[in-house]
Amino acid sequence: MTNYYCAQCTHYECSKEVKGELPPSCPMRDKDLIESSFAEYSKEENRKFYITSSEIEALGYCQWTRLREIMEFSFRMNYHRIGLAFCRGLRNEARTVAKILKENGFDVISVICKTGGIDKDKAGIVHKVHPCEYEPMCNPVAQAKALEKAGTEFNIVLGLCVGHDSLFFKYTHTMTTVLAVKDRVTGHNPLAAVYNSEGYFKTRLRMDDGKTE
């Protein structure tokens, strides 16, 4: 197993045109890794996608919001049929996002996480928000399959839970981006906890605060 520690690096030789001495655990020491990865971008299936997504950064730098970037990217990729896999907790946001996409000329196919309406008990989920009551399970596999059936060209994930998003990515075969992630505590802005990790969120970021079973 190889270990990499870019998050602890202070050299950032990767961002310099002329590279200096690489840190001992730098991924760039593995030439085969870097060269074989680079070769993937020239594949037909990736080339336009990669270049377009990279150029979006410069075209709307600090001007286009994430949602605008998604639309500009989709337009340049000739994606017309957009899938929206969203969480029930963000259903109002999903309605607004779908409206904005439609107003900008896209077809929007949307599937909510609770589709199927299957009780969590049936899936073996023990810890529920409301124990002893019917609670529909989230169904990211069905979301992925439904959007596949609908033939979406590009998908947007909006507010799926930790792990449910992973399953959606596992089961979809369509390129997918994320508009927002689920974070019930921070208004779906998980970096708020990171920015305040030495302040208001300090104790809530510790797994030994008594809130972990």
Candidate ranges 18-26, 96-104, 161-169, 198-206; the one touching ligand SF4 (CB under 6 A): 18-26
Minimum distance from residue 2 beta carbon to ligand SF4 (Å): 12
Residue 28 in the binding site for ligand SF4 (CB under 6 A): yes
Selected from 1, 3, 13, 193, the binder of ligand SF4 by CB under 6 A is 13
Which of residues 11 and 81 has its CB atom nearest to ligand SF4 in the complex?
11
| Residue 151 CA: distances (Å) to CA of 17, 129, 154 | 42, 34, 9
For residue 136, the 8-state DSSP code is B
Residue 21 in the binding site for ligand SF4 (CB under 6 A): no
Which of residues 23 and 136 has its CB atom nearest to ligand SF4 in the complex?
23
Residue 150 in the binding site for ligand SF4 (CB under 6 A): no
CA distance 50 to 57: 12
- Residue 200 amino acid letter: Y
Minimum distance from residue 124 beta carbon to ligand SF4 (Å): 41
Residue 34 in the binding site for ligand SF4 (CB under 6 A): no
**Cβ-Cβ contacts under 8 Å for 91 (sequence gap 6 or more):** 112
Residue 14 in the binding site for ligand SF4 (CB under 6 A): yes
Checking phi first, is residue 30 left (phi over 0); if not, alpha (psi -120 to 50) or beta?
A: beta
Which of residues 3 and 212 has its CB atom nearest to ligand SF4 in the complex?
3
Candidate ranges 21-29, 104-112, 122-130, 170-178; the one touching ligand SF4 (CB under 6 A): 21-29
Based on its alpha-carbon atoms, the radius of gyration of the chain, rounded to whole angstroms, reads: 21
- Residue 108 amino acid letter: V
CB of 156 closer than 8 Å to CB of 85: yes
Residue 6 in the binding site for ligand SF4 (CB under 6 A): yes
CA distance 205 to 198: 9
| Residue 92 CA: distances (Å) to CA of 30, 82, 96 | 47, 18, 6
Which of residues 20 and 210 has its CB atom nearest to ligand SF4 in the complex?
20
At residue 4, what are phi and psi to the nearest 5 degrees? -125, 145
Task: Give how many residues touch ligand SF4 by CB under 6 A.
Answer: 11
Minimum distance from residue 169 beta carbon to ligand SF4 (Å): 25
Binding site for ligand SF4 (CB under 6 A): 6, 9, 11-14, 22-23, 26-28
